[in-house]
Amino acid sequence: MRGNVGKNVSITPRGQIEQLQIFGDLTCTDLTGMSHRQVDLVKSFLRPSENTTVTLNVEVEPGNVESYGGGQADTNTEALQCGRRLLSIVTHDDGVFEEARWVLAPLRKPGTLDESNNQLQIKTTSPITGDVSLTVAQAKQQSLENLPSPASPTIPGVSVFTLTINSNSEDVSSQTFITSDIQKLRKFSAEYRRLKAIAAKVVDLRTKIIPLHERLSKATAGLPGNDLRDISTVRDEWIRKASIAKATVGTKSLRLRLGSFNVNGKIPSQDLSPWLRGVAAKKSTGQPWISPLEPLSPLGPLCDLLPEEKDEDDLLTKSSANATPEMKGVDPDIFVLGFQELDMSTEALLYATSPIKEEMWTTAIFAGLGEKGILYEKLVSTQLVGMLLIVIVKKALRSCFNDVRFCYAGAGIMGFMGNKGATAVRLEFTPTSSGVSELASTQPIALTFVNAHLAAFDEMVERRNYDFHDLSARLTFPSAGGTGYDDTLNLYQSDVLFWMGDLNYRINLSDSDIRAILTSYPDGDSGVQHIVAYDQLRNAIRSNEAFSHFVEHPITHFPTYRYGAGLSRDLLGYDTKRKPAWTDRIMYMPSPDIDLKQLGYGSHPEITLSDHQPISADFHIPVAIINKGTYEEHTCGLHRELSEYDQSKKPRIKVQTANLDFGPIFYRRPTKKALVLLNDGDIPCVFRFLSAAPDTPVAPSWLHIEPMVGLLRPKETVAVTTVAYVDDAAASKLNLRPPKLECTLILHTALGKDHFISVSGYYQYTCFVNTLERLARLPGPIRNLKTPEDLMPSTQALNAPREIMRLINWMMTNSLSETDTFFGRPARRKLCTVIRECLDTGEEFPTVTAESDRSDLCAAVASTLVAFLDSLVVPVIPPSLHARCLQVRDRETAFELLDEFPRESINVWISLTAFLHYVGQQGSASGKAGSRSISSKALHLAMLFAPILLRDDPSGEFPRVSLIGKRDFLLYFIA
Amino acid sequence: MSKQFQFKLVLLGESAVGKSSLVLRFVKDQFDDYRESTIGAAFLTQTVTLDDQTIVKFEIWDTAGQERYKAPMYYRNANCAVVVYDITQASSLDKARTWIRELQRQADPSIVIALCGNKTDLTARRQITQEEAKKYADEEGLMWFETSAKTGEGVSEVFTAIAKKLPLSAPSSRTNAARGTAAARQGVDLNRQTTTQGSNEACNC
């Protein structure tokens, strides 16, 4: 039998009870030695999911009776009767997280425990947080004297100990108890310390990044999961966020500059100021010559989408994170510099390293900082053989950095030698706010930096991936000491984890391809962009083989390895014996709570002393200044408000919008609808969306819901955002289906009803994401199709899809004299959407008169052509033919191969290459007239179109072929 | 001590035949003349005590009948289903037949299905004869009842009869309890089950 908690618990005045969740894996300690009646008694006050781990019989220290809220003690007798207490540690185990607190219950009538269950009341509950401390001491003589020892059965008068519970929080005053049950007391304090240690630890980043709805129990319609556990998970997260919002009193901008440099055993013979203070090099000069394809990540989180809707007319360029004004003219607060191959001598491997090299480089760093050098000081450094990590901070902020820890691990010869491996530093930054002096304390953020040197050579990818996982597990920061319990921290127990160094990842392209691409396009970033797609590290992240969830800023700089001094060099200065690669990298993994921004990422070619170029990255972290006192106050208040558990009341959510009709749904145009939910019950309510059947998604691929999970207090409403958005993957399916879209969303109320929300819309067919074969069989504009089967028989198919011919014809007739405007300017997104819509509906393209509008239109038409070709389900030249294309050695055979193409592809190919040939000619006419060499314009066009027209087969059925080979095949037609 | 068993029961049928009213009568012995139509699914529990003191606890899923909700499979892992039609609406029996076909095709093969003609208080407007429905039920091997949620006539008999027909012997050996919820199991013996999920006894609609 379980007691009805709602009735019996006496809730002490506001501020007296607080709770805080504690994370960790707790096991329930046994209750041996405890009277089963008492255990049952305590248990009767608890929720089914709660457990008492230790219960202790105590007496209140005399003179302390009133201070802890034990009620009015008028007479001695009452004070005595109030003096006996049960002190319990209660954990709330929901399988993933545990919540722990201690509960204090007075026993009003000594000796009549059995008959007077209802006399037991919970007086105080308090969370076991890092802020609460417990001290145990031998009782003072005077305390004992004041005790009515003979009258009290719990104190036989042998050894008596006092137990004091202190709290830094103003709301909970310290309380002192007396007990003689030493064994139990020991257990109690051990359990207390263990829980406290868990509370103090930072949650692992790998846990934090899991979205809330994925942390809930598995459930589908009609098969509810563990609703009780889910409620506590959602509630705790909600309280944490709400408390942070309430307790945040300001923000401190923290600016970081990270640098990594493999110095190849050299001494600092050059000025390092370009690396430390300079703007990182970007190879792109001004505008990209070719407007990039869709810069948006296909969908990503919904927030990516919404700006597009707000400002549809932004330029189709990459969001430039570089050169944000915030960073200009502001010195970093902290430099974190990682070196590799500082010392390449054999002795360095075998014996402890001498600090000479470190001193040398530290001196060089401060020299490089120039007149700013006096503002900084070294905070910490850690070295393992050639790997050195130095942290330099602004002197003025020195006191904000604390709990600085470091560690290292070897991963080289025999798996542990220090020729490869990593060094790491973890530090906490506590923001101070000069304006808010009354702040008792603020919460720090933890930053972890890893400087690694991983296994070398092209083919050692798997070894590098292994090294990453191995080092991730082995790099742990030992206990700072003095806490009395083990608080070793791993790399991920941090708010941001930075990982940099010579990671040695190479490029999966042939040596000649890499050099050819880099030398052909020295002025734009198109070459770099093409190669980055083949970077081993990026592939490892994408395939989750290593560095999962790490973020790296887009690379725009040239490969940093390997530059030769005196060795045989190519035109760009790269060693001809080693494939150029981005071996040197800086990445990060932030907590979802941290709004980190990267302001720059690049190499520093001015520094030539090593065979690597140094790289740097600038970051900006807005650190919330959180008033700890306010935070805990809100946490406890909200816990009290939301945790009341009354079985007689039912959660009730009212869906204000039972139907979501999106109307027409267009390809790549988000449509947003709000789904309003109201809690019209009397208790807080947790809701989540469920899938209809196991292993199926909650919503179809074209529908997105945010948030998927939520908590509503009574009378609160929330507008859940639902967005219909058709990306390429969804369009490839929807283009082949009847246009009517329908589905039912299931909204589950934890411990309550399921609601159905019917969703409908009408998909608008698009010519994008189709096959050439299907487009050629369309009887008219694709939007006129009533059903996806309304096609002409293949015998009556057109020579080429009319959409592509329209684009080419328009460009040929509209801009003979100004071909530069086609691929030389960024396009306006809104205009591109208009052109695409015209292709789908068959309407005329817009006409413009003003010259600037005209250039915009040209750029938009050209950009639409590129995007259209890139969206084709099967590329113009199917992957099965790629290998044969690359065998072609002359123009004649290239044209002969055309006969092998699919019928629709031949005409597309001929028209397109004729057009590109024409555009290429226009460019070179003014320049090297009469020259037989291929114009740079033609080269650029070929590089832009080759990977699209000969797109690789993602399934891997047909092996990838050389990018330069593809380009050269196209050049036979357009040069 | 008496034996206790727990079964998952799902109510299916066309919109407005009285599924929720039937449950309300069974669980709370109440009737509501103007009930809003169910948009979703509600979960309720009620126990039936048989003559031999065996206690059968029903976990009842009352689902929406409207066609426009592509009703998710609430009958998944159900031990029994009550398919309801309205004796005054000829079309509702057709819909019931559709549901029964779907259950026979998709649900657990051992599922106990009861066909239930509701609204016998409106017998003057009857469109479906007892003979017609009984004949169909016999052909398909279903239990068959007529009820009035409004008067309460025949309601508890439906659930008692189902409880008697359910296999109250040892729990089935089929391992469909992978999800760990009591609802997913066949005939859970509550005496051996110390904690069960979703112990709310009252109506939550």
Is pLDDT above 90 for A549? yes
Nearest to B76 among A223, A224, A751 (CB): A223
Nearest to B179 among A223, A655, A756 (CB): A223
Contact A453, A340 (CB under 8 A): yes
Q: What is the CATH number of domain A5-203?
A: 2.30.29.110
Residue A224 and residue B181: Cβ atoms within 8 Å? Answer: yes
Question: How many Å apart are CA A597 and CA A619, to the nearest integer?
Answer: 6
Is pLDDT above 80 for A245? yes
In B, which residues are within 8 Å of A224 by CB distance?
A: 43, 181, 183, 197-198
| First-to-last C-alpha distance (Å) of chain B | 33
- Structure tokens that stand for A742 in this block: 């329908």
Is pLDDT above 70 for A724? yes
Distance from CA of B106 to the nearest CA of A (A): 13
Question: What is the reported pLDDT for A254?
Answer: 95
Q: In Å, how far from its chain's centre is CA A959?
A: 33
Q: Is A497 exposed, middle or buried (0-12, 13-18, 19+ CB in 10 A)?
A: buried
Of residues A348 and A850, more confidence is placed in: A850
- Structure tokens that stand for A424 in this block: 């790491």
Q: Count CB neighbours of A541 within 10 A.
A: 19
Is pLDDT above 70 for A763? yes
Is pLDDT above 50 for A327? no
Nearest CA among A505, A508, A504, A472 for reference residue A490: A472
Length reported for chain A: 975
**What residue of B is the nearest CA neighbor of A698?**
B72
Question: What is the reported pLDDT for B193?
Answer: 38
Residue B41 and residue A222: Cβ atoms within 8 Å? Answer: yes
Question: How many Å apart are CA A721 and CA A303, to the nearest integer?
Answer: 11
- Structure tokens that stand for B71 in this block: 């009703």
Q: Across residues A40-57, what is the average pLDDT?
A: 69
Nearest to A755 among B40, B77, B184 (CB): B40
In A, which residues are within 8 Å of B69 by CB distance?
A: 744, 756, 758
In B, which residues are within 8 Å of A753 by CB distance?
A: 40-43, 204-205
pLDDT confidence tier of residue A338, bands split at 50, 70 and 90: very high
Question: How many Å apart are CA A769 and CA A157, to the nearest integer?
Answer: 86
Question: What is the reported pLDDT for A43?
Answer: 67
Q: Is A92 exposed, middle or buried (0-12, 13-18, 19+ CB in 10 A)?
A: buried
Rg (CA), chain A: 34
CA angle A464, A467, A471 (to 5 degrees): 145
Least confident residue range of A458-467, A524-533, A783-792 = A524-533
Residue A743 and residue B70: Cβ atoms within 8 Å? Answer: yes
In B, which residues are within 8 Å of A223 by CB distance?
A: 76-77, 179, 181, 183-184
A vs B: CB pairs below 8 A: 82
**What residue of B is the nearest CA neighbor of A224?**
B181
ipTM for the predicted complex: 0.81
Name the E strands within B31-162.
Answer: 40-49, 55-63, 80-86, 112-118, 143-146
Question: What is the reported pLDDT for B196?
Answer: 37
Question: How many Å apart are CA A962 and CA A430, to the nearest integer?
Answer: 52
In A, which residues are within 8 Å of B70 by CB distance?
A: 692, 742-744
Is pLDDT above 60 for A349? yes
pLDDT confidence tier of residue A174, bands split at 50, 70 and 90: low
pLDDT confidence tier of residue B168, bands split at 50, 70 and 90: confident
Of residues A11 and A501, more confidence is placed in: A501
Question: How many Å apart are CA A785 and CA A762, to the nearest integer?
Answer: 13
Distance from CA of B16 to the nearest CA of A (A): 16
In A, which residues are within 8 Å of B42 by CB distance?
A: 753-754
Task: Kindly state whether B64 is in contact with chain A, defined as any CB-CB distance less than 8 angstroms.
Answer: yes
Is pLDDT above 70 for B133? yes
pLDDT confidence tier of residue B33, bands split at 50, 70 and 90: confident
Question: Over the stretch A70-98, which tens digit does the pLDDT of each residue have?
Answer: 333 333 344 444 567 777 777 765 433 34
What amino acid is encoded at A109 in this protein? K
Mutate to test the interface with B, among A223, A227, A751 (most CBs of B within 10 A): A223
Maximal C-alpha separation, chain A: 117
Question: Over the stretch A416-439, which tens digit does the pLDDT of each residue have?
Answer: 788 899 999 999 999 876 555 455
- Structure tokens that stand for A41 in this block: 């008694």
What CATH topology corresponds to A649-764? Immunoglobulin-like (2.60.40)
Question: How many Å apart are CA A614 and CA B180, to the nearest integer?
Answer: 56
Distance from CA of A264 to the nearest CA of B (A): 57
Q: Across residues A951-973, what is the average pLDDT?
A: 89
Q: What is the CATH number of domain A805-974?
A: 1.10.555.10
Least confident residue range of A38-42, A662-666, A765-769, B189-193 = B189-193
Average pLDDT, chain A: 79
In A, which residues are within 8 Å of B78 by CB distance?
A: 222
Residue B181 and residue A225: Cβ atoms within 8 Å? Answer: yes
What CATH topology corresponds to A251-283+321-510+581-624? Deoxyribonuclease I; Chain A (3.60.10)
Is pLDDT above 50 for B176? no
Question: How many Å apart are CA A51 and CA A43, to the nearest integer?
Answer: 7
Residue B73 and residue A751: Cβ atoms within 8 Å? Answer: no
Of residues A44 and A745, more confidence is placed in: A745
Question: What is the reported pLDDT for A78?
Answer: 42
**Domain limits of chain A?**
5-203, 251-283+321-510+581-624, 649-764, 805-974
Residue B195 and residue A48: Cβ atoms within 8 Å? Answer: yes
Of residues B197 and A778, more confidence is placed in: A778
Residue A222 and residue B77: Cβ atoms within 8 Å? Answer: yes
Domains and CATH numbers, chain B: 4-183 (3.40.50.300)
Is pLDDT above 70 for A462? yes
Rg (CA), chain B: 16
Question: Over the stretch A378-405, which tens digit does the pLDDT of each residue have?
Answer: 999 999 888 999 999 999 999 999 889 9
What amino acid is encoded at B164 in this protein? K
Residue B40 and residue A753: Cβ atoms within 8 Å? Answer: yes
In B, which residues are within 8 Å of A744 by CB distance?
A: 69-72
| Chain A interface residues (partner B, CB cutoff 8 A) | 48, 218, 220-227, 647, 650-651, 655, 658, 692-693, 742-744, 746-747, 751-756, 758
Question: Over the stretch A287-305, which tens digit does the pLDDT of each residue have?
Answer: 334 444 433 333 333 433 4
Residue A221 and residue B74: Cβ atoms within 8 Å? Answer: yes
Residue A222 and residue B200: Cβ atoms within 8 Å? Answer: no
Of residues A833 and A144, more confidence is placed in: A833
Nearest to B205 among A218, A655, A753 (CB): A753
Percent of residues, chain A, with pLDDT higher than 70 = 71
**What residue of B is the nearest CA neighbor of A756?**
B40
Question: What is the DSSP secondary-structure string of A137-157?
Answer: EEPPHHHHHHS-GGG-TT--S
Distance from CA of B63 to the nearest CA of A (A): 9
E strand or H helix that includes residue A905? helix A903-926
Question: Over the stretch A195-241, which tens digit does the pLDDT of each residue have?
Answer: 665 565 567 899 889 999 998 988 988 888 888 778 878 988 898 89
In B, which residues are within 8 Å of A48 by CB distance?
A: 195
In A, which residues are within 8 Å of B72 by CB distance?
A: 220-222, 692-693, 744, 746
In A, which residues are within 8 Å of B197 by CB distance?
A: 224, 226-227
Give the 3-state secondary structure of residue A902.
coil
Least confident residue range of A473-482, A532-541, A715-724 = A473-482
Contact A738, A776 (CB under 8 A): no
Task: Kindly state whether B183 is in contact with chain A, defined as any CB-CB distance less than 8 angstroms.
Answer: yes
Of residues A162 and A782, more confidence is placed in: A782
Residue A222 and residue B184: Cβ atoms within 8 Å? Answer: no
Sign of the dihedral defined by the CA atoms of residues A521, A522, A528, A531, in that order: positive
pLDDT confidence tier of residue A933, bands split at 50, 70 and 90: low
- Provide the pairing of β-strand B80-86 with B4-13: parallel
Q: Across residues A829-857, what is the average pLDDT?
A: 89
Sign of the dihedral defined by the CA atoms of residues A623, A629, A630, A634, in that order: positive
A137-151, A670-684, B70-84 — most confident range: A670-684
pLDDT confidence tier of residue A166, bands split at 50, 70 and 90: low
Q: Across residues A833-856, what is the average pLDDT?
A: 89
Cis peptide before A707 (omega within 30 of 0): yes
Q: Across residues A170-194, what is the average pLDDT?
A: 69
Question: How many Å apart are CA B39 and CA A416, to the nearest integer?
Answer: 63
Nearest to A692 among B64, B72, B183 (CB): B72
In B, which residues are within 8 Å of A692 by CB distance?
A: 70, 72-73
Distance from CA of A649 to the nearest CA of B (A): 9
Place of tokens 């984890």: A497
Question: What is the reported pLDDT for A481?
Answer: 61
Q: In Å, how far from its chain's centre is CA A4?
A: 43
Residue B40 and residue A747: Cβ atoms within 8 Å? Answer: yes
Residue B42 and residue A225: Cβ atoms within 8 Å? Answer: no
Nearest CA among A800, A870, A811, A815 for reference residue A835: A811
Is pLDDT above 70 for A262? yes
Is pLDDT above 60 for A610? yes
